[in-house]
Structure 1
């Protein structure tokens, strides 16, 4: 998956984490976003500059790109572009430390972390943790719930403490605090008595007073992170429910087989596009390849993974409008489901782009580091001896693990089992057609004449024309979304004639079908 700045090639671009959705697009979206892309494309091809790296590796390279933008645009355009690419807060060369590193890491895909870990201050354990996040996507059945409730879980969990992912992720900080404890013991028990050096005496009460504040910080951290995880799960549960509702309503509300099959196909495509939007390791083409037609996949891919969910919703809205539903209440029901899907996209964007305030996270880490570094001095002062070292390590593990769990679930999309939701939506939508025969038999047995519906009719799908024209642009005509990309006002596409539009994009109202 490419995560490059200014890449104008038609390929599965994706986008770095946290990049605003409005401009993470490929060449076909240049007609809509024509102000910035031509300049950036020219910058990439400027002689003597060499190939542009897939992502800036240092704050200095970001500053260089910011200066080049200034030389090719007006002040207003420069500020807009800098804000989009995340350079506005990094162009100051005096800024350094964890703030700049956090901003760089936020825009880096997992596949590029290994090559950039030194510049980002990462260690090998961080790379392993990022790669293993996919292993945390738990889906429970009845057997796993039984094992989860078993009282043997205590021994089972205790036996796995050494090999746990949390323990492996915390090895570097645990090694640091263990070294601090050994150094404190060596100084207190060996150097100070032998050379007459002043002893470091730390009263236990000082740690007891501050431990309450540390507890509050950790509780707030984990509660806030879990709230974000729950919001993400609720958003995807809404996607699951509304996608099923939309497919079922389309199966019964839309009479024309061609439009019915196309609407249901794009309904299934929406969660795949949203998955590619919230994960950097889910290429858009791979997600849509088995759902949409090849030219439809290319059209969505040209918009880019960052804008793919909105584009799919736009296609679905146009399809509902083109279904010519005689009952306005039916159209309202379909639009209500599409609106709910759009709300889920907004929730996912909020959780993906806006973390818990960074100042709070940094202060919690600093507070805990100072507290754990002071702990061995207090333990040695109390006469515990070298037993203070294992006590410090155990205490550090317990506190750091709470903070680590909060950090891991703060960005929930890479650990939620979203593939299970996609499989459920796709299988349930396909089952609508398989169950139609049984439904018709039940009604006929009750004396009601019923003809089974076929949501995904092969002949209908074969005759279905492209709502999204592979050769069209995104802004043909005044009504860009009217017939999908490449369809102007009132233009008919093969196999799927559009309803006439009045000049200015207004619908021509018909009193009969």
Structure 2
């Protein structure tokens, strides 16, 4: 995703990256050559102009179709961002609740590492490829390889997060009720993942996309017939400007309708995942520490030197 200051107009106008001009440049070239040929034919061979009324009516309908296309795509984009915002919140809630209830630094660090791996695993599910992030280096290599080989890496990581909670219950460190309550956060992560997968696997209806593009092509190809008599050679520039506007709107819809890819205007999943990992490391430090570090406990607290969880021992 490209970050920018919306208060500056002129700073961004000439930038190509993220502006979609490269994606539609070939189509603009085809339509401009078509317009040049028709204009030359009209001026030097035979008049081919038609009344502009039909294009006015079709242009209005086409504009409504493009607005619906863009709005539908942006709804998918914004829903994807909200789902990933939920992933951010639930990972924090999961580790916060675990840190306050599980008196074992070894289990907490393992849970924190698997939780930090989860957003990378979700990215792998949505994109079909990807690594598991720096926290994977702290986990058993055999388990990491099983996650990578799994059909759904996100579910595989969630299972291991739940297994840590189950192990804490088996050791008698937490009750059944506490395990169930903390595991609700894991379940919520799976729900958010399901929402993301729904967006990826359900594109806009094919018939709508096909009809819109056919109408758009026919409108632009026939536009010179309606403009050539009034504009002459200037009709070429007018056609290119109108084509750039309509094609650009349609291409924006294409780019943002699946927000989990790697294009310039897609969501920055790697950045979000890295931010999650940093926050979790602040809550329960695990970076640079062995998973089997010794446990230091006081009643009602889990401590590491310098940890933000450190508190006075209870009386």
Match of 1:411 among 230, 234, 258: 258
Q: Could you tell me how far apart the structure 1 residues matched to 2:77 and 2:145 are?
A: 32
What corresponds to 1:453 in structure 2? 303
Q: CA deviation at 1:452?
A: 5.0
Aligned residue for 2:155?
310
Equivalent-residue separation in structure 2 for 1:321 and 1:293 (angstroms)? 18
1:376 has 2:224 as partner: yes
Q: How many angstroms does 1:311 deviate by?
A: 1.2
Kept after mapping to 2: 8 A contact 1:272/1:287: no
Correspondences of 1:147-166 after superposition (within 5 Å): 147-150=5-8, 153=9, 155-160=10-15, 165-166=19-20
List runs of 5+ in structure 1 lacking aligned partners: 1-136, 193-198, 435-447, 458-513
Count of paired positions: 288
**Cα RMSD for the two superposed structures:** 2.5
Residues 32-83 of structure 1: CA deviation (Å, up to 9, x unaligned): xxxxxxxxxxxxxxxxxxxxxxxxxxxxxxxxxxxxxxxxxxxxxxxxxxxx
In structure 2, how many angstroms separate the alpha carbons of the residues matched to 1:163 and 1:387? 29
Cα 1:366–1:451 shift into 2, 3 Å: closer
Aligned runs of 1:239-318 on 2, under 5 Å? 239-283=87-131, 289-303=136-150, 306-318=151-163
Deviation at 1:349, TM superposition (A): 1.0
Deviation for aligned residue 1:449? 8.7
Instruction: Note the 1:56-455 alignment, pairs <5 A.
Output: 137-139=1-3, 147-150=5-8, 153=9, 155-160=10-15, 165-192=19-46, 199-283=47-131, 289-303=136-150, 306-324=151-169, 326-381=174-229, 383-414=230-261, 415-433=266-284, 453-454=303-304
Query: Normalising to structure 1: TM-score of the pair?
Result: 0.53
Task: Quote the Cα distance in structure 2 between the aligned partners of 1:163 and 1:211.
Answer: 29
Which string of whole-angstrom CA distances, capped at 9 and with x for unpartnered residues, describes residues 252-310 of structure 1? 111233322222221111111111111245245x676435332221121222xx41111
Shift in Å at residue 251 of structure 1?
Answer: 1.2
Structure-2-length-normalised TM-score: 0.84
Higher helix content, 1 or 2:
2
Query: What CA deviation, in whole Å up to 9, does each residue of 1:2-55 have, x standing for no partner?
Result: xxxxxxxxxxxxxxxxxxxxxxxxxxxxxxxxxxxxxxxxxxxxxxxxxxxxxx
Q: Distance in 2 between matches of 1:326 and 1:291?
A: 24
Q: Is the 8 A contact 1:269 1:292 kept in 2?
A: no
Q: Which structure ranks higher in relative contact order (CA pairs < 8 Å, sequence separation ≥ 6)?
A: 2
Distance 1:163 1:348, change over 3 A: closer
Shift in Å, 1:328 = 4.2
Cα drift, residue 425 of structure 1 = 1.1
Whether the 8 Å CA contact 1:310–1:342 is kept in 2: the answer is yes
Which residue in the other structure is 2:295 paired with? Answer: none
> Residues 21-60 of structure 1: matches in 2 within 5 Å?
none
Q: 1:425 to 1:220 in 2, by over 3 A?
A: same
